[in-house]
Structure 1
Amino acid sequence: MSSSISSTTVKRIDSIDVLRGIVMVIMAIDHVRDFVHDQAYTGDPLNVLTTTPVLYFTRWITHLCAPTFVFLSGLSIYLQSIRKTKGELSSFLFKRGIWLIFVEFGLISLAMTFNPFYNLLVFQVIWSIGISMIILSLLSRLPYKIVLAVGLLIVLGHNSLDFWEAEPGFKAGFWWDLLHHGSFAIYPINGDHFLAIMYPFVPWTGLMILGYCFGIFFTSKFTSAQRQKILLWFGISLLGFFVVLRGINVYGDPHSWTTQTDGFKTFLSFINVHKYPPSLAYMSVMIGIAMLGLAFLENLHNLITNVFRTFGRTAFFYYILHFYVAHLFAMILFFYNGHTMDDARKALQKIPFLFQIPGEGVGLGGVYLLWILLIIGLYPLCKWYDGYKSAHKEKWWLSYL
């Protein structure tokens, strides 16, 4: 299929980078909140009985980020397949997947915990993207229709496992948690070292595969106007599918929505879909929104989109840095409040992240202020790195960053 596509398709499509940049910026709100909000470890921001509307949507809007990033990763891989042979693409994906897993354990775990002894290793979104790339490195050698069928089977069917998991006495175990069930499941490695499975990878792999298959619409087989119509159709259809699926309240999410004391709270319960692992309902609404975003951004070029484009073109670089900056904010607040390193070590008995104490931190207004400062501070670095990458395309290692 790709061999018949003209070389004009290899040019970078700005709307992909802009949307990726938007979700990366939004994502930082939630991570800053995790590190500095005074309610970060005292309650669930999506609990309709205890939350506030502002706190709820501060958390809910960031649900858009991981699925959009994973989907766009798959889409970008398809565009790479146009200028690479199947062997070259497979080799690249396998090596990049291994590299991402290494970064997850080596850099992201450290950024999240600030613990140089690595007492906790995290299986978070970068790990799931890495293992998904390794799997896609194998699938990419197969015919397009087979790859699409595998992606649809996983995304549409994985919630059937919820019925098994809901059975009385069900116990996941390590491999089951790693594949599907894990939601912050903790497992010992040895002694005082543990790993936390935050992102079981199979559903995310399915989403990346569908993103890969969707990449066909971003080739020269389709004009910009045709692609925009397709994106609008898919976006609206996915949102409609979400409403029907969620309304039936039988399949597609392990947690049913319930009628609350008023209509607004019932609405919040309705849209509160499961992320760990990503349910069919969750992926439908979030990717539906992402599709509409891509349609809106198709031919939009201005100063604001240029800023987001910079973040999107340096997403991995930005992702690593923003975790360290957000945790640095927490450390500064920790010592500003008069705590000592001895207090930090004692706090580790409650949560595995240094310089955080449940109930301490700043209010939601302070979270937004620090988020804005983080974005402003990282933009010049991302702008520089984007320029460096553009000026040194001959450096092969930049393709891994």
Structure 2
Amino acid sequence: MFLKVSPTYRPKEGLSARLLAIDHLRGLIMILMALDHTRDYFSNAHFNPLDLDQTTTGLFLTRWITHFCAPLFILLSGISTELSLSRNGKRNAQARLLFIRGALLIVLELFWVRILGWDFGLDPNTISVGVIWAIGWSMITLSGLMFLPRVWILLFSLTLILGHNALDTMSPDRFGSMAWLWQILHTGGHIPLWGQQTFHPYYPLIPWLGVMSLGYVLGPLFHRSALMRQRTLISLGALLTVAFVTLRWSHGYGEAHVWLAEGSILRQALGFLDCSKYPPSLQYLLMTIGPGLLLLALLERCLVQRQPILATFGEVPLIFYLLHLPLIHGLAVLWDLAIYGTAVWQFNWPINTDHIKPPSDHGIALPGVYLVTSFVIALLYPVCRGYAQLKQKRAHALLRYL
């Protein structure tokens, strides 16, 4: 539907097809992210959906398609940073804005996202941080990198993306008292804090720093002619996709999860797509960024009409993210109360002090997950639309960070 051609449509002043494409792709990413998180809270599949010994094709693909969210969102964040800099031309101000926004994201991850989103309480054992944490540190890093020549930033980006898997043999133990830093940067895992408390970074930073800086380097492409930009995006996207297929098929560099050509053709195909996300392997990044660039080119070439839902979510992605987790989690609480008369397992300390787990029959089938996701999108759309309109009408400094 959102590729419908309308010969009478003209973008409003200052709004070009390139920015429409970015907003729409970002909006699609947010919807896929909501689908993944709805599955987390509502699915009756109490196992890893990528486990080929237990999963179904629908469940596998529902989880796999959401692999595109983090790489593409972080890449688009880098592109948007360069576009913003090109508009105002004030590098110092842009770097300061990026640094503050990155720091704000880290704070939001630690408090809002974790306590009010995922946990509905405090986890007495683990402080976990995810994608918002990684985006925050990527912004802080880029706020310094943007003062360097662009070719240096490109070298930095490619070194991290292409080279980080070469570091896989270096365990945190090799760094002694600095093992925690290597876990944050590369391996992930639980970092001891005090007593039984640990810190768990789900998104080790090295590859994500490379992805955002790569987006920044790609930014000038969006100042070129539409034809040149689309051809470049298609060529680059095809190159990355072919590189993924070649490396994956040949069991080459950049992926610890070996693909085995055994079982049915369907099982082999699904196994081929099952690449490591935590941390993201080179093959995982090629698999997601390559088709993502192709889709971005397709959107710009075919999209001639602003589609309200995708565009709105893409214009205010942070507000969407901050609201969708409490909303989905809250709906899960209401559902469990209606079905079981209690939802204590949906909370953490101080409500669920005994670590009560959900019953074995907890959750709904996959079609129901999609239905709940649609309901979540319907609830979030008017709120995000109102906030987007507020940002357009008011130039309050605080709104720039949200």
What does residue 37 of structure 1 align with?
A: 43
**Cα drift, residue 81 of structure 1:** 1.8
Distance 2:231 2:109 in 1: 37
For 1:70, give the aligned amino acid.
I
What does residue 230 of structure 2 align with?
A: 228
Choose the corresponding residue for 1:68, options 49, 66, 72.
Answer: 72
TM-superposition CA deviations, 1:251-288 (whole Å, max 9, x none): 11121111221121111111101111111111111011
**Inter-CA distance 105–167: structure 2 relative to 1 (3 Å threshold):** closer
Residues 1:122 and 2:123 are matched in the alignment: no
Name whichever of 363-372 and 185-194 sits farther off.
Answer: 185-194
What does residue 86 of structure 1 align with?
A: 91
Residues 1:136 and 2:137 are matched in the alignment: no
Choose the corresponding residue for 1:100, options 93, 105, 110.
Answer: 105
Q: Is the 8 A contact 2:75 2:215 kept in 1?
A: yes
What does residue 398 of structure 1 align with?
A: 399
Choose the corresponding residue for 2:278, options 273, 276, 279.
Answer: 276
Distance 2:157 2:354 in 1: 41
Q: Is the 8 A contact 1:331 1:356 kept in 2?
A: no
What does residue 313 of structure 1 align with?
A: 315
Name whichever of 303-312 and 60-69 sits farther off.
Answer: 303-312
Other structure's SS at 2:332 match:
helix
Distance 1:62 1:108 in 2: 19
TM-superposition CA deviations, 1:287-320 (whole Å, max 9, x none): 1111111111114446673320111001000011
**Equivalent runs, 1:162-311 vs 2, <5 Å:** 162-165=168-171, 173-182=179-188, 185-191=189-195, 193-219=197-223, 222-301=224-303, 305-311=307-313
**Cα drift, residue 330 of structure 1:** 1.6
Name whichever of 317-326 and 12-21 sits farther off.
Answer: 12-21
TM-superposition CA deviations, 1:29-51 (whole Å, max 9, x none): 11001011122xx3111111211
Residues 1:152 and 2:153 are matched in the alignment: no
Distance 2:344 2:319 in 1: 33
Distance 2:343 2:57 in 1: 36
Q: Is the 8 A contact 2:172 2:187 kept in 1?
A: no
Distance 2:353 2:181 in 1: 27
Distance 2:265 2:17 in 1: 48
TM-superposition CA deviations, 1:55-112 (whole Å, max 9, x none): 0000000001011000000111111221232212221111111111001111100110
**Inter-CA distance 342–129: structure 2 relative to 1 (3 Å threshold):** closer
Distance 2:371 2:267 in 1: 28
**Inter-CA distance 172–280: structure 2 relative to 1 (3 Å threshold):** farther
Distance 1:218 1:276 in 2: 31
**Cα drift, residue 334 of structure 1:** 2.2
Q: Is the 8 A contact 1:334 1:356 kept in 2?
A: no
For 2:64, give the aligned amino acid.
W
**Cα drift, residue 246 of structure 1:** 1.0
Distance 1:255 1:359 in 2: 31
Distance 2:366 2:178 in 1: 36
Q: Is the 8 A contact 1:10 1:79 kept in 2?
A: no
Other structure's SS at 2:275 match:
coil
What does residue 3 of structure 1 align with?
A: none
Distance 1:297 1:104 in 2: 31
TM-superposition CA deviations, 1:371-390 (whole Å, max 9, x none): 01000110111111111111
TM-superposition CA deviations, 1:141-180 (whole Å, max 9, x none): 1111001100000000001112345999x99942222111
Q: Is the 8 A contact 2:191 2:200 kept in 1?
A: yes
Distance 2:269 2:29 in 1: 24
Q: Is the 8 A contact 1:18 1:306 kept in 2?
A: no
Cα-Cα RMSD: 2.7
| TM-score of the aligned structures, taking structure 2 as reference length | 0.88
For 2:26, give the aligned amino acid.
R
What does residue 27 of structure 2 align with?
A: 21
Q: Any gaps of 5 or more consecutive residues in structure 2?
A: 1-13
Distance 2:61 2:243 in 1: 22
Question: How high is the sequence identity, in percent, across the aligned residues?
Answer: 35
What does residue 370 of structure 1 align with?
A: 372
**Inter-CA distance 333–249: structure 2 relative to 1 (3 Å threshold):** same
For 1:236, give the aligned amino acid.
A
Distance 1:124 1:350 in 2: 22
Other structure's SS at 1:122 match:
strand
What does residue 334 of structure 2 align with?
A: 332
TM-superposition CA deviations, 1:104-146 (whole Å, max 9, x none): 1111001100005776432100000101111111111111100
Number of residue pairs the alignment of both structures matches: 383
What does residue 5 of structure 1 align with?
A: none
Distance 1:54 1:125 in 2: 25
For 1:59, give the aligned amino acid.
R
